[in-house]
Structure 1
């Protein structure tokens, strides 16, 4: 249910869609925008520069220019003045950590598409076809979280983070859990690929998440990482105040220890702009562990339409995009047909597997014929999926939030030790992204579609357990199913298939 509030942010992030070369507005397309159709929605080349100049002259900050849209930011009153409209903050139901709560979305009364600003009454009507207001997304890890962990640290927190040197070794715990890198690599059958020198060397992997902290876990293992890039609205590149990005990135290195890794820091308020930032780095693979819960076509917003087009354009350029399927959500962009949708399988201590009810499995309500997930990584069980011990920045949100307690209602670690146990399909996506890097090293000419097919054809069938009740509680059965897709990914089998 929508509830209008009075809380407008000081800065509104949005995407200005330049008139499309195909003559039809991206916001009016009656068919899904995919890699086959996205070229129809490229910006008219001769209109891009005039659009940038007009936006700047009207008071907008132009953050970056992509092939489909221009990322902009301005106070809400600038949008209201230029487009003769009203920005309305609305509280809408969202699903976080398998619990219903609300988040603040921005909308206008002018159009039926959520978050779409009509430009026809403005001086930019000759160059733009619409403005998509960015909207909040949810990190798909296994913990309740605020919409935004502030980048403003107290002096005590900053001093603590600057002086604390966590251990490179995970704390020993008696409950069944997985450690990185060894348990993830073994469980996904990546060790055998590594022994044949397929380690992701020279393959560029970009992760879009909460940031990245230079934890001793990474530095003492000699992993190759680049300086953090900042997405629109993000600050503090040397810190990860939340911990989600740092921790989940360890899953990439577990499956592909020699990748060339870059984190693009994302604060959940500018998904399109941050994704475009990642694409500009020209990676081979992009890993996404966040999204929105889209259960009806009417919820498909202007920002969603633009993100769908932007992802399709990246895939058309040859970039493999891996997205979490969701933890009880019908996650978008995880249900986009061009991405590799990552679901969850639980590995028991005896090495047996079953679908986990923490992870989503569903038929897309937006893209006809699209089932999610495609294949699965290793994900914990309900209630909290505290399953993989991961490195985080000491004293960050996850370090404190998940500490103490008795497993499974806590990870039993200290609240400032730089380690936390979590997973979710947020872990599965980077695991799969690393395996995609192995395939790109083994055969650099593979297209994103070919990589997806190889992963599906070589996955291990999972025939027990079920997916999240919130997305239908589908049973895992012999063959392809809604619970696990084609099953648990098998890195070595995929590499062998690629080389044959």
Structure 2
């Protein structure tokens, strides 16, 4: 495939001497200040790239993301770039930039530690039809999700997440008829300027948004589109999201390959008291050499998966990741659990998506929906994280003055124990704040208070 544009992110040398490439395991809320670069160094780099005809797509206090024509990139960094398909993904095409020659950073950019060619994220035109009738047990949005979350009493008293700024970083948000009928409003922005924000070519973000908005339908909601059909840019998506200064950011995805800059951007968000929610993964972990990597940064809320049967009994999902972090000492995930199906495909929640998108087609082959009808049945820890993020929005509306550094501990106290089931890694259900199965248990709003 021909390259017309190269998107790249930049890591700067820190003012405090710490490097995410040497000392990532020491990065946390308290040490973050030692990893922050000099802001004048970032400004100098911005001016340099603009003068070369580049576009600064996104920036934060710890990095920038830039785009330019392939020829400009190769001239600046004395290299050669190719575009290759990732071989091990069968369902659809994902491409990555690769440099055939070493990237040489110009001497005038001495403040730059590394140039990053983006890693892909993974998730964890037709007209949509009416919601399909399925002949097996499944959950519908919004009513079944709200009921399982015990959000009904809060909704009855007028609490729907109003005033809480929530961002989901995901594949996009298609304006499905479902959202129009429910009178749900939202905003959309792209991680990079070339993305079409009214499209969701993969379909994951449209579906997961419906879970979150089942619980907090009137939150101030924005979808930051991190990818299109073949490219994804999670670093500028994080930079854009943090720049909007939300209350909480939902990330129902992981990274294909090891990428330290992601953690630095997350640490920057946490330093601003933004609550970061990540899926624990559907069988992935944060081992450096793993192909699919989930995020276990200590100051995020990591969400595992819990299945809820017709009798409201809880069972740890066998698709949910739980593990001891390889990157951060004494860090175990998940912290708590949200709603999730079970193996093999976690088919549990009927959700809207973009008609004919990748997820609509692939799920439609097995879940009883059509392949171009704009509906899919799925879940995974992606849905679990969205579920928990919706509950966090309600909690923040109820308790706006809470010290957000303590929020994770408070949420743990509102979890129901899970005593049945085994997760993907083989850990049996054991409700404890620091284990590798289900954390503190299944979160609901039952005791949030009015």
1:107-126 correspondence to structure 2 within 5 Å: 117=103, 119=105, 122-126=106-110
2:314 equivalent among 333, 347, 353: 353
CA distance in structure 2 between the partners assigned to 1:360 and 1:308 by the alignment: 19
CA distance in structure 2 between the partners assigned to 1:49 and 1:364 by the alignment: 35
In the TM superposition, residue 16 of structure 1 has moved relative to its aligned partner by 1.7
Task: State the aligned residue count.
Answer: 440
1:318 is aligned to 273
Secondary structure at 1:359's aligned position in 2? coil
CA distance in structure 2 between the partners assigned to 1:467 and 1:381 by the alignment: 10
CA distance in structure 1 between the partners assigned to 2:297 and 2:368 by the alignment: 37
1:450-489 correspondence to structure 2 within 5 Å: 450-468=406-424, 472-480=425-433, 481-489=435-443
2:98 is aligned to 106
Secondary structure at 2:198's aligned position in 1? coil
In the TM superposition, residue 118 of structure 1 has moved relative to its aligned partner by 5.7
1:1-400 correspondence to structure 2 within 5 Å: 9-29=3-23, 31-85=25-79, 87=81, 104=96, 106=98, 117=103, 119=105, 122-140=106-124, 157=125, 160=126, 164=127, 166-167=129-130, 170-226=131-187, 228-232=188-192, 234-267=194-227, 269-292=232-255, 300=258, 304-330=259-285, 332=293, 334-400=295-361
In the TM superposition, residue 348 of structure 1 has moved relative to its aligned partner by 1.2
Cα displacement string for residues 93-126 of structure 1 (whole angstroms, at most 9, x for unaligned residues): 86889xxx9974635775xxxxxx563xx13333
Would you identify which runs of 4 or more consecutive aligned residues in structure 1 move more than 6 Å? 88-97
Q: Is the 8 A contact 1:39 1:313 kept in 2?
A: no
2:379 is aligned to 423
Q: Is the 8 A contact 2:430 2:439 kept in 1?
A: no
1:432 equivalent among 381, 388, 391: 388
1:147 is aligned to none
Closer, same or farther in 2 for the Cα pair 1:107/1:446, shift >3 Å?
farther
In the TM superposition, residue 90 of structure 1 has moved relative to its aligned partner by 7.5
In the TM superposition, residue 394 of structure 1 has moved relative to its aligned partner by 2.1
Closer, same or farther in 2 for the Cα pair 1:393/1:93, shift >3 Å?
closer
Q: Is the 8 A contact 1:375 1:459 kept in 2?
A: yes
Q: Is the 8 A contact 1:20 1:26 kept in 2?
A: no
CA distance in structure 2 between the partners assigned to 1:139 and 1:317 by the alignment: 26
CA distance in structure 2 between the partners assigned to 1:447 and 1:166 by the alignment: 45
Confirm whether residue 403 of structure 1 aligns to residue 364 of structure 2: yes
Cα displacement string for residues 406-452 of structure 1 (whole angstroms, at most 9, x for unaligned residues): xxxx2111223221101111101111111111111112233443221
CA distance in structure 1 between the partners assigned to 2:122 and 2:185 by the alignment: 28
1:153 is aligned to none
In the TM superposition, residue 73 of structure 1 has moved relative to its aligned partner by 1.9
Closer, same or farther in 2 for the Cα pair 1:171/1:325, shift >3 Å?
same
Q: Is the 8 A contact 1:18 1:51 kept in 2?
A: no
In the TM superposition, residue 60 of structure 1 has moved relative to its aligned partner by 3.1
TM-score (norm. length: structure 1): 0.81
Aligned-pair Cα RMSD in Å: 2.6
Q: Is the 8 A contact 1:205 1:260 kept in 2?
A: yes
Closer, same or farther in 2 for the Cα pair 1:172/1:479, shift >3 Å?
same
In the TM superposition, residue 233 of structure 1 has moved relative to its aligned partner by 5.8
Q: Is the 8 A contact 1:92 1:105 kept in 2?
A: no
Closer, same or farther in 2 for the Cα pair 1:184/1:483, shift >3 Å?
same
In the TM superposition, residue 30 of structure 1 has moved relative to its aligned partner by 5.6
Q: Is the 8 A contact 1:88 1:107 kept in 2?
A: yes
Q: Is the 8 A contact 2:96 2:118 kept in 1?
A: no
Cα displacement string for residues 225-246 of structure 1 (whole angstroms, at most 9, x for unaligned residues): 22x1111165222221221111
TM-score (norm. length: structure 2): 0.89
In the TM superposition, residue 88 of structure 1 has moved relative to its aligned partner by 6.8
In the TM superposition, residue 368 of structure 1 has moved relative to its aligned partner by 1.3
Q: Which moved more, 1:321-330 or 1:443-452?
A: 443-452
In the TM superposition, residue 204 of structure 1 has moved relative to its aligned partner by 0.9
In the TM superposition, residue 182 of structure 1 has moved relative to its aligned partner by 1.4
CA distance in structure 1 between the partners assigned to 2:202 and 2:333 by the alignment: 27
Q: Is the 8 A contact 2:325 2:332 kept in 1?
A: yes
Cα displacement string for residues 242-263 of structure 1 (whole angstroms, at most 9, x for unaligned residues): 2111111011111112211111
Closer, same or farther in 2 for the Cα pair 1:84/1:396, shift >3 Å?
closer
Cα displacement string for residues 9-55 of structure 1 (whole angstroms, at most 9, x for unaligned residues): 44332212334222444434364322222222323122232211112
